[in-house]
Amino acid sequence: MVRVRFAPSPTGHLHLGSARTALFNWLFARGQGGTFILRIEDTDPERSSRSMEESILRDLKWLGLDWDEGPDVGGPHAPYRQSERGEVYREHARLLVEKGLAYPCFCTPEQLEEKKRRALAEGRSPLYDGSCRDLSPGEIRRREAGGERPALRFRVPEREIAFQDLVHGLVRFPVGSVGDFIILRSDGRAGFHFSVVVDDATMGITHVIRGEDHLTNTARHLLLFEALGYPAPMYLHHSLLLGPDGGKMSKRHGATAVREYREMGYLPQALANYLALLSWSPPEGREVLDLGELVELFDIGDLSRSPAVFDRERLDWLNGKHLRRMPLEELVRVAGPFAPRWSGHPLFPVMVESVLDNITNLGELPGCLEAYGEPVEPEERAAEWLRGEVAAKVLEKAAQLLREHDIRSLEDAQEAVARLRRAFAGHDLKPKEILMPLRVALTGRDRGPALHYLIYVLGREECLRRLRLERGA
């Protein structure tokens, strides 16, 4: 039974890159009928916060990724916050000490820093030099009795470490590439590698799917699995998310947090779709996919090894596609908060529909809906359409048609536009010459939603009022 986890550190809002990791894990779990676990890696109390944890949970939910076990829903391996699992780590650390696989280390951070500096300066490897590796039990007791608080260090065996990564194939770490590392700090808190492994082991994780930046950590993780006597999971290290310049995707490339995209008016299904497509090609012609379709088609074995380069234009394109494939009712519901000035209007759904082809995200909605507000003073290019005899005739005819026929539906408005065009059929005019004067007279602008939408939403009386104003009648 597949059991995977997403293990964010709550030190910031959910980053696009982490969301991609979460998505791969989730898609794999859902595709395999497995279990998706959310584990909060908050062992660093200075950098972690509960509010960031909440923010991450909120963004994951917004993306549509749900979890079967986690800090908020509990589960058979609770607690799911590392800060609450200290006892589990200490218990496992004792086990390693008993087996002789871990030893107390009295080196202070200052001493370690100094050793590292010297090693680098002398061109030696900066790995831990092993000074505390073979302290006698007597010496350990004496130093502890003297008030020194040791950390606990893992005794790394001298041999090559190799494993099969599901993306990278055979990965090897030669002898000497890993030094003895800390598993418990002197204050009793677990080290990063130790807590990750103890959790993956005790939570029965079968596949670890994470970013390539953790690839080298895997050597230590495999050693710990073996030392603790647990079977190691399968590993898959996916490529990292890069900015357009090839650097790791960061602030200088623009928005990096999922919440920023949510606030800009991107749809969760579009963002998830986009993140999945960054390293995976769907079957020909099936690029616009919601989560359900992704679960059906996605195969973790098809993940590409090449870096994933963020491309905002492609995201925009996908978002536009998702906006236009969404049921209107649902679209209207999510659009409301982006256009509070209009969302209470009885014809808000029609208004949204009228600008759907002009937007790539919901943040652009208010700007497009301005067309339905009070007419603006036309700029020169727009004002041009109101000058001359043709414009005067068109506006007069439009007013006459509106007085004669009420507008009760979008079809009525379509018919009004058609009538106007028919009225000038024999005049050798371009459609624009007929429609633009009316558009500019109604809104003061030379672009915006299709004319029949404007007429329907504004209503007959308002259209007539604006035409009277324009014609000075």
By annotation, the residues acting in catalysis are 251
**C-alpha to C-alpha distances, 468 to 153, 259, 382, nearest whole angstrom:** 86, 47, 18
Min dist CB 92 to ligand GLU, Å, is: 16
Which range binds ligand GLU by CB under 6 A, 7-15, 249-257, 299-307, 403-411? 7-15
Which uninterrupted H or E stretch holds 163? strand 161-165
17 part of the interface to ligand GLU, by CB under 6 A: no
267 part of the interface to ligand GLU, by CB under 6 A: no
Residue 260: other Cβ atoms inside 10 A: 13
* Mask for 196-235, x = binds ligand GLU (CB under 6 A): x-------------x---x---------------------
Nearest to 6, CA basis, from 48, 57, 74, 78: 57
259 part of the interface to ligand GLU, by CB under 6 A: no
**Cβ nearer to ligand GLU, comparing 4 with 184:** 4
Which range binds ligand GLU by CB under 6 A, 4-12, 298-306, 313-321, 352-360? 4-12
User: What is the C-alpha separation between 58 and 258, in angstroms, rounded?
Assistant: 10
- What backbone torsions phi and psi does residue 374 show, to the nearest 5 degrees? -60, 145
Min dist CB 21 to ligand GLU, Å, is: 7
Which range binds ligand GLU by CB under 6 A, 6-14, 144-152, 172-180, 230-238? 6-14
The owner of tokens 């194939």 is: 169
* Burial (0-12, 13-18, 19+ Cβ within 10 Å), 358: middle
* Burial (0-12, 13-18, 19+ Cβ within 10 Å), 401: middle
**Cβ nearer to ligand GLU, comparing 18 with 354:** 18
**Cβ nearer to ligand GLU, comparing 212 with 412:** 212
Min dist CB 13 to ligand GLU, Å, is: 13
**Cβ nearer to ligand GLU, comparing 9 with 55:** 9
Nearest to 304, CA basis, from 241, 391, 253, 244: 241
Q: Within a 13 Å sphere around the CA of 45, how many CA atoms are in the beta-carbon half?
A: 6
Which range binds ligand GLU by CB under 6 A, 5-13, 26-34, 136-144, 389-397? 5-13
Q: Of residues 50-89, which lie at the interface with ligand GLU (CB under 6 A)?
A: none
**Cβ nearer to ligand GLU, comparing 7 with 410:** 7
Residue ranges of E strands in 307-397? 308-309
Q: Where are the alpha helices (DSSP H) in 86-187?
A: 86-98, 109-121, 137-145
239: left (phi over 0), alpha (psi -120 to 50) or beta: beta
State the amino acid at position 143 in one-letter form.
R
Q: Which of 19, 36, 38, 41 binds ligand GLU (CB under 6 A)?
A: 41
Min dist CB 200 to ligand GLU, Å, is: 7
Min dist CB 230 to ligand GLU, Å, is: 15
Q: How many residues belong to the site for ligand GLU (CB under 6 A)?
A: 7
Q: Within a 13 Å sphere around the CA of 389, how many CA atoms are in the beta-carbon half?
A: 2
257 part of the interface to ligand GLU, by CB under 6 A: no
Min dist CB 126 to ligand GLU, Å, is: 22
Min dist CB 262 to ligand GLU, Å, is: 20
**Cβ nearer to ligand GLU, comparing 84 with 461:** 84
The owner of tokens 């357009």 is: 244
Binding site for ligand GLU (CB under 6 A): 7-9, 41, 196, 210, 214
